[in-house]
Structures are given as C-alpha cells and as structure tokens.
Amino acid sequence: MTSRFDHPVAREGSGALKFDGRQQTFGTTEVMPMWVADMDFAVPEAVTKALQARIAHPVLGYSLAPDSLYQALIDWLRTKHDWQVPREWIVLTPGVVPSLNMVVAALTKPDDGVIVQPPVYFPFFSAVTGQQRQLIENPLRLIDNASQPHDQMDMNHLATCAQQARLLLLCSPHNPVGRVWQTAEMETILSIANQHDLIILSDEIHADLVYADAHHQPLSRLAMQAETAEQTTQSHRVITAVSPSKTFNIPGLGLSALIVPSTTHRQAIQRHLNTLGISVTNPLNMAAFEAAYRGGNDWLNELIPYLQATRDAAVAYIQTELPKIKVISPQATYLLWLDCRALQLNDDALKRFFIEEAQLGLSPGALFGHGGEGFMRMNIGTSQANVLAALARLKAAITRHAV
C-alpha cells in the first residue's frame, strides 16, 4: 500500500531553506538536501483549512491569542502525555531557539554557568556563549557496542558540573542522537538539580515524534509526581519548551510555548520578552498552532509508522550495504546520526566527501560540539524512496573512494 508520505511536496523555488539554501550552504545546488530539520510532507489538512479560512478574512491586524489556542495545547498535553498543565503556566514564544536565549537571559546572570550536553543541537551553545554566560559541557558517552550503539549521560560528571551552574539545557528527546531518556535517568537529573538548586530548561520539541519502541515522559510531569510523594517543589525548577512545529511540519510559522510552573521564573521570562518588543503571535501562526493540535492527530498517527518504517529500512541498508558507516538508530525524531569515523577523514574532508563525491547535503556532526567529530546528521523526513536513493549515492561514493 502506498502512503501520502510516499509523495513529498516539490519545494524548490518556494523559499525553502532546505532546498533554496543549498548553493549558499554547500556551494552547489546538486546535492540532495537532507539537513535542515523540517519534513518534505504536506501539513495536516486541518492546518491548511484553518489558514485558508483565516486568510479569507480581509484584515490581518494585531492579534490576541484566544483562549481556545491555550486550551488546544492543554488538551494535547493531557491526552498525549498525561500531563495536566494549568493555563497560567503557559508563556507563548516566537520559537524554541528564541526560547532558549530568553530563558538564559532572564534566569541567569553574566558569567553564570550553564550546562549543555554535547553533541547537541548547536543553538544550545550560542544561547550561552552569545550572552556572556559560562559554557559548562557535560558530554554524552557513546556506548559503542556492536549490536546497538547508543549515547547515555555521564551522571557523575553532571553532578560535578551542577556545583558550578545555575541552569541545565536538556534536549529531550535528544537531537541529534535520537535518545528518549528513561525514567531512571530523568529521576537522577531531578535529584541532581534539587541538590544543587539547578534550573532545567527541557527542550521537548520532538516529544510527539517518538517511535513505538520508546516512551517519552515530560520531565516536568515526572517532577510533579515526585512532589506528591515527597512534598517538595522540584517541578518549579523545570521549564519545558513545546511546539507543534516539528510534529506537524510548521516550523516556518514560528510559534511555540514555554511551560513555566514557577511564578517567579514566569514573570522574569515575560519581562524579558516584553523588553525585546517582539510580537509573538500573528493571525496565521495562531490559526495553524491551534488547528494542528486540534485536528492533526490522525495525520500524526499515519506519520509515525511511516517514519519508523523509513528509519528501519535505512538502518537495515546501512548495516548491510555500508559497513564503514555505523548508525545510531533513533528512538525519536526523523534524524539519523551516522558514525563515519571509519572513513578516516577529518571533519573538513568528511564534509567535502559528502558534498562533492556523494552529492548529499547533510549536517556535519562537528556543528553539534564535542562527540560530533566524524559524524553526520541525516534528515529522513522525506519519502522512503528518497532516503534509500541517498544511501545508494553514499554507497557508490564510498566504493569509488576505496578504489
């Protein structure tokens, strides 16, 4: 049976960064673009209809977020993640990357320590260093066994880092390694944070893109459960970034939310947002945000098995046909983390190899910091046929390279 996702949308000429930015990024338009983390699939019909209905109104003026938008998010989090979020905890923001920067600016002071866990989504670094905070790295540890390589946190080192830090930037599920953190791991993080008075910003933008062999738990919900048992207020140290952008393929509309249980933290973030003079909402991003959460569930229920099948096909192909490449099979996200170290190329040479010989536009692992050297991140949010064609290009290039 064919799927709607077997037919990705042609995006060239639409201003799509992923396609129309190839010349600027890779120096050529000939590469297959599998870098920027958006998908090549049409958005849910509910989103298209909501946008069409809103654009039919002839005025696109300054706009307020309706109560129904907040309720759509509240209902989604309750239904999908068993997480009851009060309305007053929600702060709308102009995207998750701006949210990272706002939380760092609002809740830390210059020279305060902020922990990141590389290899990790690269805006985590600039949110710290670009605001004169002290970057503290708690690198993930690659468990490089033959059957199922994966990354895990170094908890002992995290506890040491926490002694010098004010804030931890957590990526959950993790981009780029695709890990869904287990309950025991998150409980340890909460214990460390509680012991050292550490605030946690948990970026959970990929939380709805989790495969059947894993289960995501919001860190804040876990903290709330611990409160009930221990009569503590540890959930107040957890801030969560959420958005429909990755889930429903609408990142270009730039609307997300922070879930902030602490009144003090919430007020500080809102004050900082106000000083920026940024309009968070507009008529179109609000229409898409609400429609995605209200009407996108059936579309998502079709998407996840499709992406999982693509993941499995890609992993099987790599293991069979590309013995020099190891793949970290993700538990979430539509991103593959390719271990290319056996090609014995430095990072500059590896990037050139993918561009010039394989004609593939991927994200170099070195962008993601310590532990990313020798890796490449591949976006499989396109048709399975495109993914397998890209891997065939890679196989041919490696074969030529070995001659």
pLDDT tens digit sequence for 300-310: 999 999 999 99
Q: Are residues 66 and 153 in the same domain?
A: yes
Q: Are residues 324 and 202 in the same domain?
A: no
Say what percent of the chain tops pLDDT 70. 97
Domain finish residue from 278, 295, 312: 295
| CB of 327 closer than 8 Å to CB of 146 | no
Domain finish residue from 270, 295, 320: 295
pLDDT at 152: 95
Structural domain span for residue 108: 48-295
pLDDT at 278: 87
Within-domain flag for 374: yes
Please name the residue that has the structure tokens 């429909």: 244
Predicted confidence band at 144 (pLDDT cuts at 50, 70, 90)? Answer: confident
Q: Above 80 in pLDDT, residue 235?
A: no
Q: Are residues 154 and 241 in the same domain?
A: yes
Within-domain flag for 339: yes
Say what percent of the chain tops pLDDT 90. 93
Range in 124-128, 158-162, 275-279 with the lowest mean pLDDT = 275-279
Crossing angle between the packed helical segments 283-295 and 67-81, to the nearest 10 degrees:
30
Domain finish residue from 275, 295, 315: 295
Q: Are residues 213 and 249 in the same domain?
A: yes
Please name the residue that has the structure tokens 């609002």: 106
CA 34 to chain centre: 15
Within-domain flag for 362: yes
pLDDT at 161: 98
The C-alpha atoms of residue 287 and residue 50 are separated, in whole angstroms, by 6
pLDDT at 229: 58
Crossing angle between the packed helical segments 263-276 and 96-107, to the nearest 10 degrees:
110
Q: Are residues 357 and 376 in the same domain?
A: yes
Provide the terminal-to-terminal Cα distance of the chain, rounded to the nearest Å.
Answer: 40
Within-domain flag for 403: no
Q: Are residues 160 and 183 in the same domain?
A: yes
Q: Are residues 305 and 271 in the same domain?
A: no
Q: Are residues 240 and 333 in the same domain?
A: no
Environment class of 132 (CB within 10 Å of its CB; exposed 0-12, middle 13-18, buried 19+)? exposed
Q: Are residues 284 and 303 in the same domain?
A: no
pLDDT at 344: 96
Give 386 or 225, the one with higher predicted confidence.
386
Q: Tell me the mean pLDDT in the region 353-368.
A: 98
The C-alpha atoms of residue 399 and residue 403 are separated, in whole angstroms, by 7
**Alpha helices, DSSP H, located in 82-154:** 96-107, 123-129
Q: Cβ atoms within 10 A of the Cβ of 298, count?
A: 11
| CB of 329 closer than 8 Å to CB of 203 | no
Q: Are residues 34 and 82 in the same domain?
A: no
The C-alpha atoms of residue 281 and residue 283 are separated, in whole angstroms, by 7
Within-domain flag for 261: yes
Q: Tell me the mean pLDDT in the region 47-71.
A: 97
The C-alpha atoms of residue 344 and residue 361 are separated, in whole angstroms, by 19
Q: Above 90 in pLDDT, residue 285?
A: yes
| CB of 347 closer than 8 Å to CB of 373 | yes
Range in 109-113, 144-148, 369-373 with the lowest mean pLDDT = 144-148
Give 311 or 234, the one with higher predicted confidence.
311
Within-domain flag for 317: yes
Predicted confidence band at 231 (pLDDT cuts at 50, 70, 90)? Answer: low
CATH of the domain at 379: 3.90.1150.10
The DSSP bridge pattern shows strands 199-203 and 238-242 to be parallel
Q: CB under 8 Å to 198, separation ≥6 — which residues?
A: 115, 162, 165, 166, 167, 168, 192, 237
Q: What is the mean pLDDT of the chain?
A: 96
Looking at the structure of the chain, the number of domains it has is: 2
Q: CB under 8 Å to 51, separation ≥6 — which residues?
A: 284, 287, 288, 291
CATH of the domain at 187: 3.40.640.10
Within-domain flag for 402: no
Q: Above 70 in pLDDT, residue 146?
A: no
Q: Are residues 150 and 251 in the same domain?
A: yes
pTM: 0.96
Backbone angles phi, psi at 351, to 5 degrees: -60, -45
Range in 112-121, 180-189, 221-230, 329-338 with the lowest mean pLDDT = 221-230
The DSSP bridge pattern shows strands 238-242 and 141-143 to be unpaired
pLDDT at 228: 64
Please name the residue that has the structure tokens 């706002």: 102
The DSSP bridge pattern shows strands 335-339 and 326-328 to be antiparallel
Q: Above 90 in pLDDT, residue 150?
A: no
Please give the structure tokens belonging to residue 235. 């959930």
Is the four-CA dihedral 217, 220, 221, 225 of positive or negative sign?
positive
| CB of 272 closer than 8 Å to CB of 102 | yes
| CB of 363 closer than 8 Å to CB of 123 | no
Q: Above 70 in pLDDT, residue 234?
A: no
Q: What is the pLDDT of residues 372-401, one digit of tens each?
A: 999 999 999 999 999 999 999 999 999 998
Reduce the DSSP state of residue 117 to 3 states and report it. Answer: coil
Q: Which amino acid is at 241?
A: A
Q: Above 80 in pLDDT, residue 402?
A: no
Reduce the DSSP state of residue 360 to 3 states and report it. Answer: strand
Q: Are residues 59 and 113 in the same domain?
A: yes
User: Buried (b) or exposed (e) across 223-248, using 16+ Cβ within 10 A?
Assistant: bbebeeeeeeebbbbbbbbbbbbbbb
Q: Above 60 in pLDDT, residue 158?
A: yes
pLDDT at 226: 80
pLDDT at 291: 98
Please give the structure tokens belonging to residue 195. 């012991």
Please name the residue that has the structure tokens 């593959």: 336
Please give the structure tokens belonging to residue 278. 């940024």
The C-alpha atoms of residue 76 and residue 127 are separated, in whole angstroms, by 28
Within-domain flag for 99: yes
Q: Above 90 in pLDDT, residue 202?
A: yes
